[in-house]
A and B are shown apart, each in its own frame.
Chain A
Amino acid sequence: MTSRGTPSRFLRSVLQNGVGRYVCQLKRISIVFSKKAQSSLGARDFIEEGVVDYANKNPGTVVYVSPQPCRVPKIVAEYLNGNVREETITSKTSQQISELLTKLTNQSGLEIIRIRKPFHTDSPSIQGLWHPFTNRPLSIGPIRPQKPDSQ
């Protein structure tokens, strides 16, 4: 679909994150995987090796580990602005899953749609925006509104 047909947004941050202090926007992740299925092998390896390190490195994120009989292992990430993202991790290796988690941790929770401009500023102009009267010399004599009959 074209960019007009798909949703788009402007570049912004949640609650001016980073201006004051940086707050990690990822609230909680739930890792849903199966104990026996083949597609959850990478997930099980990650739970054995990497999840505790991840949880220690990101104390602001709650990690829920949930072994369930499921065919498709998932990571459900919830962000501070309320958005929920689900990523499937079928047949991914432990390394790929930890890279995916780093990616999710570094995201703000805003939607992954086309960003209209790669820049944003709250103070677009220091000296004042240009308009056609800027730097235009004043005409000689006082200016009065034109009378409509004078033509």
Chain B
Amino acid sequence: MASGYLLNRGALTLGIHCQRVCRDISLSQVREKKRWMKAYTYLMAKKLKLEGPPPPTPRSQQPHWDYHAEIQAFTHRLHENFSLELLKTAFINPCYLQMEQEKRKGLGVESETAALVLKDNMQLSKKGSAFAESFLIDWCRASFPSLPAIGVESIVGHLTSPAVLTYVARNLGIEDLTMSAEFPVPDDVLCSTFMAVIGALQESSGAERTGLFLRDFLVTQLIGKDLFDMWTVVNPMGLLVEELTKRKTPLPEPRLIRSAGASTVLPLYFVGLYSDKKLLAQGPGETLAAAEEEAARVALRKLYGYTENRRPFDFSPQQQQQQPFIQSASN
């Protein structure tokens, strides 16, 4: 068929199929103008338009890939000592093992001759996520001592949510190394792989190093985020009243401080909350109710110490190192 013939010639000449690097014309081809080239390019463009772009393939199936080298580079890049066996186990997901078993059954290979000697990462993943949660809760409580338990839970819940974990995992190159049945790697598989990597780090290097790792990669995702983005509070005024009764201070009284454009389409009201005639916080809003709610939120932020102008978190390298740094993988 004409298009099949053109396809072969095009593949030889252009060599664009499944190759990132363009190959050039090999010596056996003629150098003159090719009369079939225009028809070929138009056919291929039409095919692309019809079928859409080709599905993405995993990096391990593209040229230039050495798994062992990639794993080693991964450990050095993060300046961590991993036991390579544990790390390789951490990247193997149960869906991948299932797929391999099915392939072997499909090919008729007996399970004794070619047994699959791979363990999956479920155990490491559970360990890692338990450790991550406990570390993040401790860190939150230490940094924000006056934040109540629900607040701490919401912050930790946000940091261990699939959205944040997949973002961090994709930008650390974990997606390339993951062995899973489907590509692109689904979010939950990627999350559990990331947790398994943390579990592997914990078993290789101990709790302290893993804590520093989590601080450097997960806690940094808190930079620039506001408390009430992560913690949805429906009634901030009620919460504020509770907090103040706990601290035995007089209850807040809202007063209108500033107002502008009351009869226009964009009114602005500043409402201040006074406890015993001293200003707690003030907040703006389009209506009086909105301004009062905003003032309550500002007051809560001040009470919990989560304002924008608080002292930044301490990310200094290797604080409180008791053991000497074993192997420095630095440049």
Contact = CB atoms under 8 A, between A and B. Distances in A.
B224 A122 contact: yes
Contacts of A59: 72-73, 76-77, 329, 331
Q: Size band of the A side of the interface?
A: 35 or more
Given A64-B64, A68-B21, A122-B223, A20 B270 contact: no
A80 B172 contact: yes
A138 B315 contact: no
Interface string A44-64: 000000000000011111101
A62 B70 contact: yes
Contacts of B17: none
Contacts of B70: 28, 62
Contact of B173 (A57, A80, A126, A128): A80
A135 interface: no
Interface in B66-96: 66, 69-70, 72-74, 76-79
B182 interface: no
Given A20-B215, A143-B259, A62 B66 contact: yes
Contact of A82 (B170, B263, B267, B270): B170
B258 interface: yes
Q: How large is the interface on B (under 10, 10 to 19, 20 to 34, 35 or more residues)?
A: 35 or more
Contacts of A95: none
Contacts of A16: 220-221, 223
B32 interface: no
Interface string B248-265: 000000001111101100
Given A16-B221, A66-B64, A80-B173, A60 B26 contact: no
Interface string B204-235: 00000000000111011101100000000000
B60 to A, nearest CB: 12
Interface in A76-95: 76, 80-82, 84
Nearest to B25: A71
Nearest to A31: B64
Question: Max chain B CB contacts within 10 Å: which of A15, A81, A122, A148?
Answer: A15
A101 interface: no
Given A68-B23, A122-B224, A19 B315 contact: yes
Contact of A143 (B176, B216, B258): B258
Interface string B15-27: 0000011011010
A133 B269 CA distance: 11
Interface of A: 14-16, 19-21, 23-24, 27-28, 30, 32, 57-62, 64, 66, 68-72, 74, 76, 80-82, 84, 122-123, 125-128, 131, 133, 136, 138, 142-146, 148
8 contacts: A15-B172, A20-B220, A32-B21, A60-B77, A62-B69, A68-B23, A143-B257, A145-B267
Interface of B: 20-21, 23-24, 26, 63-64, 66, 69-70, 72-74, 76-79, 167-168, 170-173, 176, 215-217, 219-221, 223-224, 256-260, 262-263, 267, 269-270, 284, 288, 308-309, 312, 315, 317, 329, 331
